[in-house]
């Protein structure tokens, strides 16, 4: 009886199994047999009994080649009978040789022997058959495996030898025992490290994206990427390689899960404590650009501390969208400390604070009234921001064109180069107001070139307001007749589209306004009438009135 003949249920006693196998030991004898026939799948062997024993052809086949021929004598193991035919095995003879070598090498005291092999089969769900590199087979009961039957075949495992049966040529092993012994050893060693509470030297065993596994003399612990440097989360591969020795501190140990958490930075002096009394807000320091993010750059102080240079602190130019446009990795730059929080390990710095403010430079070189060139940077509902050098000025819709209701969005597109006039500089708020209207002549100026105060004009009523009415004089120019300038005419009776005649009383070319008066027109007409009477004595007042009636 051998390992292949062991029949087990899920709940079995392998001690009982061993005792039963001892009783059948007399069957496991080795005899010489003669091959009498070889077929496609079996081999008949004469072992001196009434009927030949039968072997599976695979037992004498290696790499597809049959090792014996008819008439050859081979050793086989007798394992009782199946009916009248003797049960024999050539494979078990080979296994016995390997078993005998194992016993010769280790003796019968084998409880400290660890074996390694591959699971080749599952035996009736009662356990696993393991085969090592030499071909020696071991039996591992299910309860001693810490494995599930499904998916176990082909898995490489290590196990401790529990017992051997020299009569049966069988070896019982336990993966459970090996794991528990290893766990106990790890628990004891970790406890010893925790009690010492001091840095310990380990070797980098494996590097992953989330940290490094460190070998502490047979015990593996994990250094999370947050625990490598005081800079914060870093890529372990940028700092260490497999095989490097590192000093670590044990942070915690989960005994149940066997998780050992380690820290490299905890074994190092805390640089934040070192700079606490050496650095303060307002100091200028030299740093190296070490990393880029979309929101800015990180700079290295050279002592395992990084500070954040936010994109808004790189330049006074608000249009900078990517820190890589102005900086390179490895650049040494001078920056100003704008925030230092040792407790939260936060350092923020500014590059632009050490540069001349663009607004200060602008007001040195420009003044109200200057005409300058710029580019449309941003279009909004209320106007456009125009970049002039390194500053932005506001071109309000009202200053963009003399056309009524014109908006920057309809007149320009981003990137257009335009010429503008500086009409206001607010030094306190650092605001710059611009105008295009003040560069071009207003429609009122064109009107002034062709009309003067006192001229009589005509126009259709365009709009009515509580304070008066507007009549259209040109495409971009209206004339206002206030209520007090109507005279005897009733403004309420006037309708949109009615044509009116009035005299020009004021032209404001800057505000593009023309004021008209019907009342003054009537007064002007009366003066002209009286002048005509005085100039022509032969004409009577009645004649003049008659002409007016016509």
DSSP string, 134-168: T--EEEEEGGGT---STT-TT-EEEEEEEEEETTT
Secondary-structure class of domain 198-267 per CATH: mainly beta
How many Å from the N-terminal Cα to the C-terminal Cα in the chain?
147
Q: How many CB atoms lie within 10 A of CB 518?
A: 19
Angle, to 10 degrees, between the axis of helix 518-535 and the axis of helix 541-549? 140
pLDDT score of 211: 92
- The parts of the chain modelled with pLDDT lower than 70 are 1-27, 108, 125, 532-550
Nearest to 141 by CA among 5, 15, 2: 15
Does the domain at 276-354 match CATH 3.40.50.300? Answer given as no
What letter would DSSP give residue 441?
Answer: P
Do 198-267 and 443-524 show the same overall fold?
yes
Between CA 465 and CA 18 the distance in angstroms is 115
**Other beta carbons less than 10 A from residue 302's beta carbon:** 12
pLDDT of 24:
44
pLDDT number for residue 198: 82
In this predicted structure, what is the pLDDT of residue 492?
A: 77
Where along the chain do its domains lie? 3-94, 198-267, 276-354, 358-435, 443-524
- Enumerate the H helices of 155-231 as residue ranges: 175-196
Dihedral angle over CA of 94, 96, 98, 103, nearest 10: -170
CA 427 to chain centre: 41
Which pLDDT value is given to residue 354? 92
Q: What is the pLDDT of residue 547?
A: 53
Question: What fold does the segment set 443-524 form as a domain?
Answer: OB fold (Dihydrolipoamide Acetyltransferase, E2P) (2.40.50)
Which CATH architecture describes the domain 358-435?
Beta Barrel (2.40)
The confidence score (pLDDT) of residue 253 equals 84
Q: How far apart are CA 532 and CA 537, in angstroms?
A: 9
| Separation of alpha carbons 123 and 5, rounded Å | 9
Are 197 and 30 in contact, with CB atoms under 8 Å apart? no
Continuous segment of H or E residues that includes residue 446:
helix 443-450
Domain 3-94: what homologous superfamily? Answer: Nucleic acid-binding proteins (2.40.50.140)
What is the predicted pLDDT for the residue at 106?
Answer: 84
């Amino acid at each position: 009886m051998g390992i292949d003949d062991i029949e087990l249920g899920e709940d079995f006693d392998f001690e009982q199994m061993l005792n039963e196998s001892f009783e059948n030991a007399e069957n496991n004898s080795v005899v010489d047999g003669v091959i009498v026939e070889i077929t496609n799948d079996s081999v008949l062997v004469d072992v001196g009994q009434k009927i030949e024993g039968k072997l599976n052809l695979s037992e004498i086949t290696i790499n597809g080649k049959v090792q014996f021929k008819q008439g050859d004598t081979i050793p086989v193991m007798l394992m009782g009978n199946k009916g009248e035919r003797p049960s024999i095995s050539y494979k078990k003879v080979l296994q016995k040789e390997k078993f005998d070598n194992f016993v010769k090498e280790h003796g019968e005291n084998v409880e400290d022997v660890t074996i390694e092999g591959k699971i080749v089969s599952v035996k009736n769900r009662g356990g696993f058959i393991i085969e090592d590199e030499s071909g020696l087979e071991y039996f591992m009961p299910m309860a001693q495996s810490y494995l599930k039957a499904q998916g176990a075949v082909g898995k490489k495992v290590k196990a401790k030898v529990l017992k051997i049966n020299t009569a049966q040529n069988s070896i019982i092993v336990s993966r459970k025992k090996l794991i528990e012994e290893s766990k106990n050893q790890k628990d004891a060693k970790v406890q010893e490290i925790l009690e010492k509470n001091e840095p310990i030297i380990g070797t980098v065993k494996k590097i992953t994206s989330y940290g490094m596994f460190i070998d502490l003399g047979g015990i593996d612990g994990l250094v999370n990427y947050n625990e490598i440097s005081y800079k914060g989360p870093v890529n372990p591969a940028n700092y260490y390689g497999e095989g490097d020795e590192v000093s670590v501190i044990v942070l915690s140990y989960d005994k149940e899960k066997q998780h050992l958490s380690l820290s490299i930075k905890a074994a190092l002096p805390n640089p934040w404590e070192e700079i606490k009394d050496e650095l303060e807000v307002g100091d200028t320091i030299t740093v190296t650009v070490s990393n880029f993010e979309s929101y800015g750059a990180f700079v290295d102080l050279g002592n395992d501390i990084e500070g954040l240079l936010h994109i808004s602190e790189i330049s006074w130019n608000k249009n900078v969208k990517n820190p890589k446009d102005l900086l390179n990795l490895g650049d040494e730059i001078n920056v100003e400390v704008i925030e230092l929080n040792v407790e939260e390990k936060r350092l923020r710095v500014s590059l632009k604070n050490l540069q001349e403010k663009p607004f200060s430079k602008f007001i040195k070189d420009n003044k109200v009234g200057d005409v300058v060139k710029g580019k449309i940077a941003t279009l909004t509902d209320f106007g456009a921001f125009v970049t002039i050098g390194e500053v932005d000025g506001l071109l309000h819709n009202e200053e963009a064109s003399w056309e009524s209701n014109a908006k920057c969005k309809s007149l320009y597109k981003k990137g257009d180069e335009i010429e503008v006039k500086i009409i206001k500089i607010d030094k306190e708020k650092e605001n710059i107001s611009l105008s295009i209207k003040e560069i071009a002549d207003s429609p009122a100026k064109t009107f002034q070139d062709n009309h003067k105060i006192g001229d009589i004009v005509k126009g259709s009523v365009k709009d009515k307001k509580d304070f008066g009415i507007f009549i259209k004089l040109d495409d971009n120019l209206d004339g206002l007749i206030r209520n007090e300038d109507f005279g005897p005419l009733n403004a309420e009776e006037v309708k949109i589209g009615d044509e009116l005649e009035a005299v020009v009383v004021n032209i404001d070319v800057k505000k593009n306004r023309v004021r008209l008066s019907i009342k003054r027109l009537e007064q002007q007409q009366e003066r002209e009438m009286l002048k005509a009477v005085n100039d022509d004595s032969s004409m009577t007042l009645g004649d003049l009135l008659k002409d007016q009636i016509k």
